[in-house]
C-alpha cells in the first residue's frame, strides 16, 4: 500500500549520451521498479546499494538492458526509499521507461527540484545548502564551483548557527531574569546585554560586507570595454575571446549593441561587455547603443577604457569607477604609460595576457581565499539586512530601558528572520519558488 506519491524523472541531461539516469523517490519505489525487471537475482530478495543488471520489460515488450540500484529510506539523496535506473542514453528509451513508470498508480513526474526539495523537507540539508546545489550545477568557473561547494558542505550553515546560538543564549539569559523578576537578583548590566547584541551585529556585518566578494566568486567580474569609436574595443574583445566573435572594421560606429561573452582567468569568470563607441551622433540606432554603453559602464565591476595610442588628445574622463586605461595600437605608436594604465596591441597580441591578470588583480586581492561569509545570494543579503535591523531595534529597546519582554520580542524577531535563511521559518511560497528554479530530475 503506497501512502506517499512516488516521483520519477530523468536525472541526467536530456538528449543522446552513453547512459541516461532515471530516478524515482518515495515509499514503494523498489517494488514498482522490480515489476519491470526480469533479473532472476531480484526474484529472491535483493540488497540495497547494490547494482543489478537486468532487462526492463513493459507489458511483455523488451525496452532496454539496464542497471538498477535501490536505496533504503534514510540512506538516499532524498531521504526516502529510492531507485535509479541506468539505461542506454537514448531519448526514446528514456521516454518509454518513464511512460511505463508514470502508468503505475501513485507515480507521477517530478516537479523541477522536487528531489532536492524532498531532501530539504526530510531534514537532510537546510535551505542555503539546497540553494548551493543549484549554484553548483550552474557554476561556470573554478571560483563559483568553490563557493557553491563550500556552501553545500555547510560552511555558511555553520556560521549561521553561530549567530543563531548567540541570539538564543541572549534570549535565554533575559528569560531567566524574567522568571526571577520578583526576587532580589543581580541582573546583567544593560551595557553587557547591548554588547552581546553588538557581537551578533558584527558577525552579520561581516556577511553583508562579504556580499560583493561573494558575487564575484559566483557571478564573475563584470568588465566593460568602453571608449571612443574606432579605438579597438571590439578588436580587444576578440583578442580576449581568442575568436572573431565581434565585427571589426575601420568605420567609426561599427558596434551598435552591447555584446556579452565570458572567459575564465585565474579561475574567475570574466563577463566581458563590448559596447558601442561613445560619440555625438544623430543615428537613432547608434544613440540607443550609446545609452546602453553608459548603463553597462555604471554596472561594471571594472572598466577598460580603450584609447587609441595614435590619438590621445581629448580622451574623455571617466569618473568614480575602478578603471584601467588601455592604450591600444601600440604597434603604431609606443607610448610610455603610467600606473593603472597598460599598453597593448590587438594587432600583435602584445600586452593581452598582462591585461587579463591586471583585471583580476584590480578587483581581487592576490591571496584571496573563499570564506563562508562571502554570501552571493540576494535573498541571503536581504534577510541578513532585515536581521540586523531587528537587532538594531533591540538595542534601541535596551537603551530606552524597556522591560526584558520587549527586548526578547525584538530578539525573537531577529531570530525569525534568520530562520528564513536556513528554511526554519521560510514560507512555503518562497520555498517553492527556490526549488522551481531547479531543473527537472534534480
Ligand atoms: N594597427 C592596429 N590597428 C588596430 C588595433 N586594434 C584595432 N585596430 C583597427 O582599428 C579599427 C577599429 O577597430 P574596432 O575594434 O572595430 O574598434 P571599436 O572601438 O570597436 O570601434 P566601434 O565599434 O566603431 O566603436 C579596425 O580597423 C581595427 O583593425 C591595433 O592594435 N593595431
Ligand atoms: Mg566595436
Decide which of 3.30.70.260, 3.10.20.30, 3.90.550.10, 1.20.120.430 is the CATH code for 129-214+377-436: 1.20.120.430
Domain boundaries, the chain: 6-110, 129-214+377-436, 220-363
Nearest CA to ligand 1 atom 13: 232
pLDDT exceeds 80 at position 32: yes
User: Residue 377, exposed/middle/buried by CB under 10 A (0-12, 13-18, 19+)?
Assistant: buried
pLDDT exceeds 50 at position 172: yes
- Over residues 14-32, mean pLDDT: 96
What atom in ligand 1 is closest to the CA of residue 231?
19
What percent of the chain has pLDDT above 70? 98
Residue among 226, 230, 247, 275 to mutate when testing ligand 1 (max atoms within 8 A of CB): 230
- Over residues 73-92, mean pLDDT: 97
Distance CA 193, CA 33 (A): 59
Count of Cβ atoms closer than 10 Å to residue 180 Cβ? 10
- Over residues 365-380, mean pLDDT: 91
pLDDT exceeds 90 at position 330: yes
Residue among 244, 248, 250 to mutate when testing ligand 1 (max atoms within 8 A of CB): 248
pLDDT-derived band of residue 184, with 50, 70 and 90 as boundaries? Answer: low
Q: What is the predicted pLDDT for the residue at 278? A: 86
Q: What is the predicted pLDDT for the residue at 1? A: 33
Q: What is the predicted pLDDT for the residue at 190? A: 87
What is the total residue count of the chain? 442
In the reported structure, the alpha carbon of residue 337 is separated from the centroid of ligand 2 by a whole-number distance in angstroms of: 23
Nearest CA to ligand 1 atom 27: 250
pLDDT exceeds 90 at position 34: yes
What atom in ligand 1 is closest to the CA of residue 235?
15
Q: What is the predicted pLDDT for the residue at 240? A: 97
Count of Cβ atoms closer than 10 Å to residue 335 Cβ? 14
In the reported structure, the alpha carbon of residue 243 is separated from the centroid of ligand 1 by a whole-number distance in angstroms of: 15
Q: Which ligand is nearest to the CA of 250?
A: 1
Q: What is the predicted pLDDT for the residue at 44? A: 81
Distance CA 422, CA 427 (A): 12
Nearest CA to ligand 1 atom 14: 232
Q: What is the predicted pLDDT for the residue at 355? A: 97
In the reported structure, the alpha carbon of residue 235 is separated from the centroid of ligand 2 by a whole-number distance in angstroms of: 7
Q: What is the predicted pLDDT for the residue at 128? A: 94
Could you please state the CATH topology (level 3) that the domain comprising 6-110 is classified under: Gyrase A; domain 2 (3.30.1360)
- Over residues 336-364, mean pLDDT: 95
Q: What is the predicted pLDDT for the residue at 384? A: 97
Q: Ligand 1 — pocket residues by CB below 6 A?
A: 229-235, 248-250, 252-255, 276-277, 328-329, 331-332, 345-347
- Over residues 77-91, mean pLDDT: 97
pLDDT-derived band of residue 185, with 50, 70 and 90 as boundaries? Answer: low
- Over residues 7-22, mean pLDDT: 96
Task: Find, among 174, 164, 167, the residue nearest to 196 by Cα.
Answer: 167
Cell 512555503 locates to 428
In the reported structure, the alpha carbon of residue 363 is separated from the centroid of ligand 1 by a whole-number distance in angstroms of: 26
Of 28-37, 38-47, 132-141, 414-423, the one with minimum mean pLDDT is 38-47
- CATH 3.40.1180.10 is right for the domain spanning 220-363: no
Question: Mean pLDDT across the chain, nearest whole number?
Answer: 93
| pLDDT one-digit tens code per residue, 197-231 | 999 999 999 999 999 999 999 999 999 999 999 99
Q: What is the predicted pLDDT for the residue at 186? A: 67
| pLDDT one-digit tens code per residue, 151-168 | 999 999 999 999 999 999
- Over residues 98-126, mean pLDDT: 95
pLDDT-derived band of residue 102, with 50, 70 and 90 as boundaries? Answer: very high
Q: What is the predicted pLDDT for the residue at 3? A: 44
Amino acid at each position: 500500500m503506497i501512502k506517499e506519491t512516488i516521483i520519477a524523472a530523468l536525472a541526467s541531461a536530456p538528449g543522446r549520451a552513453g547512459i541516461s539516469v532515471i530516478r524515482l523517490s518515495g515509499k514503494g519505489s523498489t517494488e514498482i521498479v522490480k515489476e519491470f525487471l526480469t533479473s532472476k537475482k531480484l526474484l529472491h530478495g535483493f540488497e540495497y546499494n547494490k547494482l543489478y543488471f537486468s532487462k526492463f520489460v513493459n507489458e511483455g515488450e523488451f525496452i532496454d538492458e539496464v542497471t538498477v540500484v535501490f536505496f533504503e529510506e534514510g540512506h538516499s539523496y532524498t531521504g526516502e526509499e529510492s531507485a535509479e535506473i541506468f539505461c542506454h542514453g537514448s531519448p526514446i528509451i528514456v521516454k518509454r521507461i518513464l511512460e511505463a513508470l508514470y502508468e503505475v498508480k501513485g507515480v507521477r513526474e517530478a516537479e523541477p527540484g522536487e528531489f532536492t526539495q524532498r531532501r530539504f523537507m526530510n531534514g537532510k540539508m537546510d535551505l542555503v545548502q539546497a540553494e548551493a546545489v543549484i549554484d553548483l550545477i550552474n557554476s561556470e568557473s573554478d571560483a563559483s564551483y568553490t563557493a557553491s561547494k563550500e556552501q553545500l558542505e555547510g560552511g555558511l550553515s555553520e556560521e549561521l548557527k553561530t549567530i543563531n546560538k548567540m541570539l538564543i543564549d541572549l534570549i535565554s539569559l533575559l528569560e531567566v531574569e524574567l522568571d526571577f523578576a520578583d526576587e532580589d537578583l543581580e541582573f546583567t548590566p544593560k551595557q553587557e546585554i547591548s554588547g552581546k547584541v553588538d557581537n551578533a551585529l558584527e558577525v552579520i556585518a561581516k556577511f553583508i560586507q562579504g556580499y560583493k566578494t561573494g558575487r564575484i566568486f559566483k557571478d564573475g567580474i563584470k568588465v566593460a570595454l568602453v571608449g571612443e569609436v574606432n579605438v579597438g574595443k571590439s578588436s580587444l574583445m576578440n583578442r580576449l575571446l581568442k575568436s572573431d566573435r565581434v565585427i571589426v572594421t575601420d568605420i567609426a560606429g561599427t558596434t551598435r549593441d552591447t555584446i556579452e561573452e565570458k572567459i575564465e582567468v585565474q579561475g574567475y569568470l570574466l563577463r566581458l561587455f563590448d559596447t558601442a563607441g561613445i560619440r555625438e551622433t544623430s543615428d537613432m540606432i547608434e544613440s540607443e547603443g550609446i545609452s546602453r554603453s553608459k548603463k553597462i559602464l555604471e554596472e561594471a565591476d571594472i572598466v577598460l577604457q580603450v584609447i587609441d595610442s595614435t590619438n590621445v588628445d581629448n580622451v574623455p574622463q571617466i569618473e568614480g569607477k575602478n578603471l584601467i586605461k588601455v592604450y591600444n595600437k601600440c604597434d603604431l605608436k609606443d607610448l610610455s604609460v603610467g600606473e593603472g594604465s597598460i599598453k597593448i596591441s590587438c594587432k600583435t597580441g602584445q600586452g593581452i595576457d598582462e591585461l587579463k591578470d591586471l583585471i583580476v588583480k584590480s578587483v581581487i586581492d592576490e591571496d584571496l581565499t573563499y570564506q563562508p561569509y562571502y554570501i552571493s545570494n540576494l535573498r541571503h543579503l536581504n534577510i541578513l539586512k532585515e536581521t540586523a535591523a531587528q537587532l538594531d531595534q533591540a538595542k534601541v529597546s535596551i537603551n530606552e530601558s524597556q522591560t526584558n519582554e520587549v527586548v526578547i520580542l525584538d530578539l525573537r524577531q531577529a531570530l525569525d528572520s534568520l530562520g528564513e535563511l536556513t528554511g526554519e521559518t521560510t514560507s512555503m511560497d518562497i520555498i517553492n519558488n527556490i526549488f522551481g528554479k531547479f531543473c527537472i530530475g534534480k
